Amino acid sequence: MHPVPPKPLPPPGDDALDQARRDFLAAGHTLENIRRDFPEWHRGRPRYLLWAIDADRPAIRENVARAAHHLQDILLADYVRQPHITLALCGFPTDEPQQDDDFGPSALLAQLKALRRAACAPFMLQIGQLASFSSAPFLAAQDLEGGLGVLHDALSPTTHPSGGPYVPHVTVGLYKGRYPTPQVQARLDAHAARPVLCPVDRISLMSYAASEIGGPLAHLADYDLASQVLVWHDDPLHLKLQAASSSSTGIRSHPDGSAIH
């Protein structure tokens, strides 16, 4: 199956983003994030997996840094996660899933099959407006050509539901306290957006340390939209996921573990 160009969408003024604004104001206060381990969540499982678009590019990094500086007095220090747009949450990788939020080879295979059926061609995003969830400010990602929706819809049935409408975004940081949302919203609105176009030709399977809040992302694999090929990086923690996907689908691994650019 050849990749299919996503159906163009009208420029969003975007129902999901508008709803996120209403929800933020209705919350009354931001949520306080605390820098600590959460063993009651990860239960000793070291890594958490997700599918995302790698948005770690100079112009986007600059915009994230500008927004973080604008809000620096109300953000938790040492947020170092690279700019990215989450497409779908996966879970804790394991060879034999036992918990509801475990993620094993069969779940990965279901996602890869869904991606191939979707056959989404490369597309363009625009990263711009500063907005917020109750826990975190973000730069909104506009789905100019419909590709985000295609990929999210393909991956979401095989992952844990988020409980709300999908709002594609690049996280700026995490709030360090409870602040009145009307006052924070006024600061968000006062920030001059600098929209940046972001071409998307691949999506990435990523992970982060479950014990670190806002810690860095690691690349496990890249799925190329044009060729519909999954390219694995060297990561011994997930070799069984890699072996299962390769043996069942014929998807290849990159010989030296380097990234696709």
For the cut 80, the answer to whether the pLDDT of residue 248 exceeds it is no
What's the pTM?
A: 0.87
Count the alpha carbons within 13 Å of 134 in the hemisphere toward its beta carbon. Answer: 13
Per-residue pLDDT at 253 exceeds 60: no
- Which residues on adjacent β-strands are paired with residue 180? 29
On the question of pLDDT at 108 being above 70, the answer is yes
pLDDT band at residue 8, thresholds of 50, 70 and 90? very low
pLDDT at residue 147 in the model: 96
Q: What digits encode the pLDDT tens for the residues 174-210?
A: 999 999 999 999 999 999 989 999 999 999 999 999 9
Structure confidence at residue 154 as a pLDDT band (50, 70, 90): very high
From edge to edge, which strands make up the β-sheet containing 137-142?
Answer: 169-171, 137-142, 123-132, 196-200
Instruction: Kindly state whether residue 2 falls inside one of the protein's structural domains.
Output: no
Question: Of 209, 203, 236, 233, which is closest to residue 221 (Cα–Cα)?
Answer: 233
- Domain membership of residue 215 as a residue range: 15-249
The band of 16, judged by pLDDT with boundaries at 50, 70 and 90, is: confident
pLDDT tens sequence across 211-226: 999 999 999 999 999 9
pLDDT in tens, 64-97: 999 999 999 999 999 999 999 999 999 999 988 9
Within a domain: 256: no
Query: 11 pLDDT exceeds 60?
Result: no
Residue 10: inside a domain, yes or no?
A: no
pLDDT of residue 4: 57
pLDDT value of position 34: 92
Please indicate, yes or no, if residue 151 is contained in any of the structural domains.
Answer: yes
If you average pLDDT over residues 143-167, what whole number do you get? Answer: 81
Which of the pair, 156 or 135, is modelled with greater confidence? 135
- Per the DSSP assignment, residues forming a β-bridge with 34 are none
**CATH for 28:** 3.90.1140.10
Has residue 259 been placed in a domain? no
Q: Is residue 193 part of a domain?
A: yes
166 pLDDT above the threshold of 80: yes
Residue 18's nearest CA partner among 142, 136, 191 is 142
7 lies in some domain: no
pLDDT at 3 over 80: no
Asked if residue 158 has pLDDT above 60, the reply is no
Q: How many domains in the chain?
A: 1
d(CA 127, CA 67): 12
Q: What pLDDT was estimated at residue 189? A: 97
Q: Give the helix/strand (H/E) hosting 86.
A: strand 84-93
Least confident of 47-56, 91-100, 128-137, 248-257: 248-257
User: What mean pLDDT value characterizes the chain?
Assistant: 87
Reply yes or no on whether the pLDDT at 52 is more than 50.
yes
- Residue 49 inside a domain? The answer is yes
Report the alpha-carbon distance of residue 109 to residue 244 in Å, rounded: 8
